[in-house]
Structure 1
Amino acid sequence: MKFSVDRDVLADAVAWAARSLPIRPSVPVLVGLLLDADESGLVLSTFDYETSATATVSADVSEPGRALVSGRLLADICRSLPNKPVDLQLEGARVTLTCGAARFSLQTMPVEDYPTLPAMPSATGTVDSETFAHAVAQAVTAAGRDDMLPVLTGVRIEIDGSTISLLATDRFRLSQRELDWNPNSPDESAAALVPAKVLGDTAKSLTAGPEVTIALSHGGVGEGIIGFEGHADGGLRRTTTRLLDGEFPKVRSLFPSEHQTTALVDKAALVESVKRVSLVAERNTAVQLAFSDGVLTLDAGSGDEAQASESVEATIDGEDITTGFNPQFLLDGLGAIDEPVVKMAFTQASKPVVISGAVQEGGGDSGFRYLLMPRRLLS
């Protein structure tokens, strides 16, 4: 194997593929990054039996071949190289990398021990890359992080014709984001439970190109796998990941169809108030929110401990209501909303609040809703 490649193109592709390398691999060979060079260019791949990442770049290949080297070491080396063309050559059991006056020699690992990468399922449709990345970032806000409940560490992707819905919950909050996309079939219908961390990292890394292709198997090749593909300045990027097993809870019914009280509040003012008031909130205690007479009053702390109170203007429609929430969960939801004014909709104090962006008349639906369970208030 022998090829030459642009330094920036190689560094970007290696960094992208290496981001999926396992920290504690089940077998040593999984720390490797596979280099596969032929007349069509260079392909860099990583795979940990769950998630694969493949970057395809243009390269001047004089001798086709394959080599497996430490992915993180190669990424560190590429980041440090001068801005000159990179020459890479396989010599026996070592790979020699030359860039200007810099020269590195890396030990290879046995290619034959590396697992076969999973096949990419057939394309299901495409979506604008920036829109998709933002929607995923909103949805993963409510995803669980407890590995003891793996089904809640995923984001449920539901495809219904030209609409994608993203749902996530950790039992205390629930996020829902809907967006339009371009399905290959107008009556496309599918669902998948994707690990939230993989989905978030992948969507964020595929914004260089105009769109992302989503590939979800309906049986046969790629069963139980979802794939994402996009373009970068240096070439093609592709990720596949194994879907999570288990039944995602039926959460759509948790969003109430009617509300007794709604409040419109300036998002920036509310965020700053929650941050200040929560400074005196004991761990795992709520910040109280009282809505009355055009004012939202926030309180935290009790008894002989430190206390804080602050008021924010609010446009309130309906009955007065007093409730309380985990301040960090509340801030997470507010931070995921784009609009400058948030709408908080209640049925009663003991029921969840639905938080969304207040869209101006004629502006359509923001597509994002965040449902948050209340916390018991200290007496």
Structure 2
Amino acid sequence: MELVIEKSDLQNVLKKAISATEKKSALPILSNFLLEAVDDKLIVQGTDLEVHVSVSVFAKIEKEGKACVNAKKITDISRLLPSNEVYIKLEDSVLKIKSGKTKYSLPVVPSEDFPMMYPFPEDNAFVVSGDDIQKAISKTSYATSKEETRYALQGVLFKSLDGTIDVVATDGHRLALYTINRNGTGDVEIIVPQKALNELKKLLTGLEDVEMAASDQYVFFRTKEWILMSRLLEGAFPDYTKVIPQDFNIEIKLDKKEFLDAVKRVSAVIEGDPKPIKLTLKENTLQLLSKSSEYGEAVDELSVDYTGEEFSIGFNARYLIEAVEVIDGDTVIIRFTTPNAQTLILPKDENDRYKAIVMPMEIA
């Protein structure tokens, strides 16, 4: 293996793959990158056996070949190189790196020991927008479960429908749904781990089209520059369609910033989590109230277009904040049914495909 590459290109490709590697593992091979020089590109692979990332970049290839080298060490070195042009050569089981007058010799391990990525399932593929995937991740992943016992709920559901995909996360107390468009006939109903989505966000620019496909155990995302493969989460995901209310008794419209600021002000007297907050609708007024036996109470009011009977409902303030913060636009719609039933939070824009459900909590 022998190649010449721009320093910035080398830095970028290593940066994209480094977090997929395993730093502390019973398998030392997982702390390494697999470097492959082929055609006119350098391909860098990293994996922890759960997530596998392969990223390619243009390079002048003098001799094709592979090398398996410590991921952290070569990434750290790439940041310190003095010259824009970098020479990399595999020679006698040593990877030699030269930049300006600086030279490194790094030990390598057998390339054949590096775990291989499975083939992309071409027959089950479809195309989605990188921008859509970015939005879907940012607008849903906050609602995943943090409890280790709720294994399936630690991930995000991708379920294909006619021409669209529902991307859904829930922890049993709240739910976030974002619908994205797709081109192609492949179908998925899979639960993708949070780590894979975090890695995917680092790879996406938002400008590219992304091929997506799944096998029985793995999901794949692919562009011309990179491939991400992730093991799927097993387990049953609840039927999210049953918890989205179709009918409601009350609808109010709120300025997003004013509402968020009021919730944050009122919940400031509560330490820890949950942060119980009571919303009460009165004539043209939304009152926000929280009480703490140790720190006292807080009350705030917002003007709102409401003329019905007085209506009170309790929430965990953090759930309200996280559901509203990801909304685009300046106006938030909140729909209530009863004080004991789930509440629907929406953006004002009817073309926006985001929905959030928050379950109420009892407040004395």
CA distance in 1, matches of 2:84, 2:187: 48
Where does residue 220 of structure 1 map in the other structure? none
Change (3 A) 1:113 1:201: closer
Separation in 1, partners of 2:38, 2:351:
49
> Which letter does structure 1 place at the counterpart of 2:356?
Y
TM-score, structure 2 length as denominator?
0.94
Q: Show the counterpart of 1:323.
A: 313
**Relative to 1, partners in 2 of residues 1:201 and 1:113: Cα closer, same or farther, differing over 3 Å?**
closer
2:269–2:292 CA contact under 8 A, matched in 1 = no
Cα pair distance change 1:142/1:29, threshold 3 Å: same
TM-score norm. by structure 1 comes to 0.90
**Which residue, out of 243, 256, 271, partners 2:232?**
243
Assess if the C-alpha contact under 8 Å between 1:260 and 1:319 holds in 2: no
TM-aligned CA distance change 1:147 to 1:344, over 3 Å: same
Distance 2:255 2:267 in 1: 18
Residues 301-326 of structure 1 deviation map (CA, whole Å, 9 limit, x = unaligned): 24563221111122236543211211
Matched, 1:290 2:313: no
Residue-by-residue CA offset, 1:342-369 (whole Å, 9 max, x unaligned) = 111111111121111112xxxx331111
Query: Which among 168, 183, 189 is matched to residue 191 of structure 1?
Result: 189
Q: In the superposition, relative to structure 1, how do residues 358 and 208 fare at CA in structure 2: closer, same or farther (>3 Å)?
A: closer
- Kept in 1, the 8 Å contact 2:245–2:342? The answer is no
Report the AA paired with residue 139 of structure 1: T
SS at the partner of 1:328?
Answer: helix
Query: Is the partner of 1:257 in helix, strand or coil?
Result: coil
In the other structure, the counterpart of 2:360 is 374
Are 2:357 and 1:332 aligned?
Answer: no
Q: 2: distance between equivalents of 1:302 and 1:62?
A: 69
Supply the distance in 2 between the matched residues of 1:104 and 1:132 (Cα, whole angstroms).
39
Cα separation, 1, equivalents of 2:309 and 2:199? 42
How much identity, in percent, do the aligned residues show?
A: 25
Q: How well do the aligned residues superpose, as a CA RMSD in angstroms?
A: 1.8
Q: Report the residue type matching 1:141 in the other structure.
A: Y
Shift of 1:2: 1.1
- Structure 2's unaligned 5+ residue stretches are none
> Structure 1 residue 173 and structure 2 residue 163: aligned?
no
Note if contact 1:98-1:104 (Cα within 8 Å) is conserved in structure 2.
Answer: yes
- Corresponding residue of 2:338: 348
In 2, the alpha carbon distance for the partners of 1:354 and 1:96 equals 59
* Residues 344 and 26 (structure 1), Cα distance of their counterparts in 2 relative to 1, 3 Å cut: farther
Are the counterparts in 2 of residues 261 and 320 from structure 1 also a CA contact under 8 Å? no
Aligned AA (1:224): Q
Q: Structure 1 residues 209 and 345, CA, compared in 2 at 3 Å: closer, same or farther?
A: closer
On the 8 A contact 2:283/2:307 being kept in 1, the answer is: no
Structure 1, unmatched stretches of 5+, are 218-222
CA distance in structure 2 between the aligned counterparts of 1:189 and 1:43, rounded to whole angstroms: 29
Inter-CA distance 114–317: structure 2 relative to 1 (3 Å threshold): farther
CA contact (8 A) 1:140 1:200 kept: no
Q: Where do 1:36-51 residues align within 5 Å? A: 36-51=36-51
The offset of 1:244, in angstroms, is 1.0
